[in-house]
Chain A
Amino acid sequence: MVKSAASFSRPTASPFDRLHKFHGGLKLPGHREVSASRPISSAGVPAILVLPLQQHIGAPAECLVQPGDTVYKGQLIARQVGAISAAVHASSSGTVTTVEERPVPHPSGLQAPCIVIETDGLDRYQDSESTALDYSRMEPDELCTHIRRAGIVGLGGAGFPTQVKLGCGKHKIELLLINAVECEPYISCDNRLIQERAAEVIEGARVLQHAVQADNCIIAIEDNMATAEQALHTALATSNATGIQVTRVPELYPSGGERQLIRILTGREVPSQGFPADIGIICQNVGTAAAVYNAIIKQQPLLSRIVTVTGDGVVQQQNFETLIGTPVSHLVAAAGGYTQDVERLLIGGPMMGYTVPVDNIPVTKTLNCVLAVTREEMPAPPPAQACIRCGKCTEVCPADLLPQQLYWYARSSNQDAAQDYDLFDCIECGCCAYVCPSHIPLVQYYRHAKSEIWLKETQTKASDIARQRHEAHLNRLARIKQERAERMAKKKRALSSDDGSSDKKKAAIEAALERVKQKKQQASTMPKNVENLTTEQQQLIAAVDKRRQQNDEPE
């Protein structure tokens, strides 16, 4: 750290001018020309919005609305739960119709809890007045709170809550990296965003830079994005930003990967299982920077994002400003609908994306591309053959792993060995599967192994809790048993004890008996109501007493 700090504070121009190389990588055909050449258009307000409670990594948000509630655009409808979580806002005005399980964009095709809003088409905010925050006078913590309230997550794909990423660094952050290296084929949403809103990106980057107190900020851009780069330079020249530089990196997949990009720009390696913050770097997607701009300057939570709708399976390949929660079907309709020969629908790009069986899924915060492909464009992979141990996968692996070894271990479900070979450093970029001459679906093996390990971990955690609870249960039973035994023993002692206390008791009983006797005597000697009697009554009583004495005598 000390050494790197020294290298950062060098007074000469910039320490990041020299680019480095990461291991492996692929040159892929771009397929972006059409979508990148058309301006971003609005996808409009759909009839219904489906907002999943979990659109990020971490705990799902907690729903705050009920069916029948009227919501305004920008209203908080689900709040953050725990530290790693993100809030969800209504992306347009309307009425909440239901809160239920709906299909969501996920490779499993499973359903997840969603808030469904029937829009009223008015798209109205609760209160229209908002003043831009003067972020330069705010404390980083305060700024992070505002970013957290806006529900911003990493828009590059992983969806890690942004405030967590900004605030997690116990280390001093020296470099903020704005990632505009859109390396995956077909996707051009970041490219168009910069071309059309470069000033917002720059401003957002400055806010982020202030939030992490970084001296340096690099906006990294791919060398095939000349127009976007020009726009950034123009915006930089007009703003009075300092310490922000735009760096062009050569086109190579996957240079937009966080670790790969850090490697290219600084030559340094993010530790295995660690975070970039561990080496004083924070990397944010360019879309996230624009969202931060909206949150701080425009005072607007994350309500929409740019989605590339592309592939030969749609009529008009284009980028759309899309409200979060818009159904993908609506988005495809906005792009002119499907073509005749559409084969399948992917969420994400061709390398890291996944096929979805239906298009009634909503656009989430992390969904950057809807790719409808034809059979010619992306034929089904030929049947997998045996691994011939050619080693091509190892040559292209950008994470410097041994994909072949990982494949053997993942296939034989030897998860411990796979972890020994750093399975979790795999970024699932798909380079190994792309070059595999045997067409082995390598990435799927790794994903399977990873999710198995995660499942096992959660099971272990659950069984640890069950063990603790069972022990507590046994302790409780033992305690109750002991307490009962003590109580019984006490009673027994009290009954069987033969010390002086029994005499006292006897005395007390006798005293009580004596009292009763006295009372009885009093009652018999002094009958009540004998005063103020008439002579007639007295005679009657005397007669009765006489009879009673006569009756008693024979006995």
Chain B
Amino acid sequence: MLIAIIALGILAALIGLVLGYTAIRFHVDSDPVVDQIDALLPQTQCGQCTYAGCRPYAEAMAAGEADINQCPPGGEATIQALADLLGRDPKPLNPEHGAHSEKTVVIIDEQVCIGCTLCIQACPVDAIVGAAKQMHTVVRNECTGCDLCIPPCPVECIHVVPLTPTIGNWVWPKPSAQALGEVQHG
């Protein structure tokens, strides 16, 4: 009996040591769930979810404070991916936060721009170049289409333009099952 207790005690101590060591050795700084959620979000940083960016929204979701249907730029695809990750039921996008639309970018009408730098301060990804009383311009490849630069502009010289399809981002159309008369499977 005593031997058994001692043996188990030693075993428990050993395992405790190993566990304690591994807990320190393989310590994960940030919450991996937050990272996983953040990876699914489109990183538009538009704040339409009412949070100050994609990461704060991811943190709120991980904490259970925010719902998964608050991201208009991500749309249904992001909601589906979040539902799969978090084991929740997918639900339609909450219209309070806006409607999903295809990705756009903004352009600055350089004739009208007065060089006030307000849009530069508003851009969450530093995609606008310029200086005070100098013409500003948008780096198109870096623009996420968050439209946060539009409200501060005092001369309304920032316009939303849709991304034109190019050969590089063109997707082969999916054959339409109905149009081809293909019988649907139940």
Contacts and interface: CB of A to CB of B under 8 A. Distances in A.
Given A383-B181, A386-B183, A448 B125 contact: no
A41 to B, nearest CB: 31
A464 B43 contact: yes
Given A441-B175, A448-B172, A473-B125, A467 B43 contact: yes
Interface string B26-38: 0000000000001
A138 interface: no
A469 B175 contact: no
Nearest to B168: A458
A114 to B, nearest CB: 12
B132 interface: no
Nearest to B121: A477
A445 B125 CA distance: 37
A384 B172 contact: no
A451 B171 contact: yes
Interface string A441-468: 1001101101110010011000111110
A469 B53 CA distance: 12
Contact of A473 (B126, B167, B170, B172): B126
A466 B170 contact: no
A108 B173 CA distance: 9
Contacts of B182: 383-386, 438, 440
Contacts of B166: 110, 112
B144 interface: yes
Contacts of B90: none
Given A445-B175, A466-B125, A467-B43, A383 B180 contact: yes
A451 B175 contact: no
A67 interface: no
A203 B44 CA distance: 55
Interface string B159-186: 0000001110111111101001111010
A23 interface: no
Interface in A85-111: 104, 106-108, 110
A444 B175 contact: yes
A451 B183 contact: no
B38 A467 contact: yes
A111 to B, nearest CB: 9
Given A445-B174, A445-B175, A469-B126, A108 B165 contact: yes
Interface range on chain B (Cβ under 8 Å from partner):
20 to 34
B167 A112 contact: yes
A296 to B, nearest CB: 31
Contacts of B165: 108, 110
A470 B185 CA distance: 45
Nearest to B180: A384
Nearest to A459: B42
A122 interface: no
A543 interface: no
A465 B144 CA distance: 10
Query: Which of B54, B167, B169, B177 is most buried by chain A, counting CB atoms within 10 A of its CB?
Result: B167
A470 B180 contact: no
Contacts of A455: 169, 171
Interface in A463-520: 463-467, 469-470, 472-474, 476
A473 B124 contact: yes
Given A470-B43, A472-B126, A386 B167 contact: no
A233 interface: no
Given A464-B43, A466-B125, A466-B142, A448 B170 contact: no
A124 interface: no
Contacts of A195: none
B144 A466 contact: yes
A407 to B, nearest CB: 10
Contact of A441 (B41, B125, B180): B180
A474 B54 CA distance: 13
Residue in B38, B44, B125, B173 with the greatest tally of chain A CB atoms within 10 Å:
B125
A142 B19 CA distance: 59
A175 B166 CA distance: 38
B69 interface: no
A448 B175 contact: yes
A411 interface: yes
The 10 A-B residue pairs with the shortest CB-CB distance, nearest first, are A383-B181, A463-B43, A384-B180, A466-B43, A386-B183, A469-B125, A447-B172, A108-B170, A448-B172, A451-B171
Interface of A: 54, 104, 106-108, 110, 112, 383-386, 411, 413, 438, 440-441, 444-445, 447-448, 450-452, 455, 458-459, 463-467, 469-470, 472-474, 476
7 contacts: A112-B166, A383-B181, A438-B182, A467-B38, A469-B126, A469-B142, A470-B55
Given A385-B183, A386-B185, 19 more contacts: A110-B165, A383-B182, A384-B177, A386-B183, A411-B174, A444-B173, A444-B175, A445-B174, A448-B173, A451-B172, A455-B171, A459-B42, A463-B42, A464-B43, A467-B38, A469-B126, A470-B53, A470-B55, A476-B126
